[in-house]
Amino acid sequence: MDGRDGMRAADADREVVADRLRAALGEGRLDLHEYDERVQRAYAARTYAELDALLTDLPPVTPPEHSALRPASAPAEPPVGPLGALGRGHVNRWLAEMWLPYVRVIAIVVTIWGVTSLLSQELLYFWPAWVAGPWGVVLVLRTVGGLAGGEPRRQAIERERRRERKRAKRERRRELRTDGPEDPGPET
């Protein structure tokens, strides 16, 4: 491979391909299984050639205002997730999931320390440091390692996949209910 095909792709390039695949899913060009498989391959791709191979059988996106076709109904709201309009939200959510339990527990143990110090009418040894210190060091290391390794994005993608699977499962159930045998009702 030479030229552009052999060049390494950036995260932004992978996001563009993932967005196009999401659009193809919404247009009905890909089923959920194929979409999931292609998105996994998109985030694992290293070169432009690998990314381009994921889109070769899909037509280019035509903005609705330039399309000769009119939608039968109003377009659905695009899903907010790692493959949709997400931005930095997935990083903030991941950080909150990591740090909120720590903050809550530390608030509780400091409150217990404060109440016991007040009741004893003297300033007691600050034992909450033995809870906050080691746990805080572990969280800092996990946070730095997770951010460097792309853990927030992986969790966001997995959350979006679960959401898509649930949505597809609900659709299948709805189809089975509407296509199933109708109850003739009580005979009279």
Tell me how crowded residue 123 is: count the other CB atoms within 10 A of its CB. 10
**pLDDT at residue number 135:** 93
E strands in the chain: none
pLDDT at 122 over 80: yes
Residue type, 115: V
What does the DSSP assignment read for 21-46?
HHHHHHHTSS-HHHHHHHHHHHHH--
Give the whole-number percent of the chain exceeding pLDDT 90.
24
Range with top average pLDDT, 60-64, 79-83, 104-108: 104-108
- Backbone phi, psi, residue 24, to 5°: -65, -35
pLDDT at 71 over 70: no
Residue recorded with tokens 């907010």: 80
Query: Each residue of 18-30: pLDDT tens digit?
Result: 888 888 888 888 8
Mean pLDDT of the chain: 81
Least confident of 67-76, 84-93, 157-166: 67-76
pLDDT at 109 over 50: yes
**pLDDT at residue number 29:** 87
State the DSSP H helix or E strand holding residue 78, giving kind and residue range, or none if neither.
none
**pLDDT at residue number 182:** 57
User: Regarding predicted confidence, which is higher, 32 or 183?
Assistant: 32
Q: What one-character DSSP code corresponds to residue 4?
A: G
Q: What is the pTM of this model?
A: 0.45
Range with top average pLDDT, 99-108, 150-159, 173-182: 99-108
**pLDDT at residue number 154:** 86
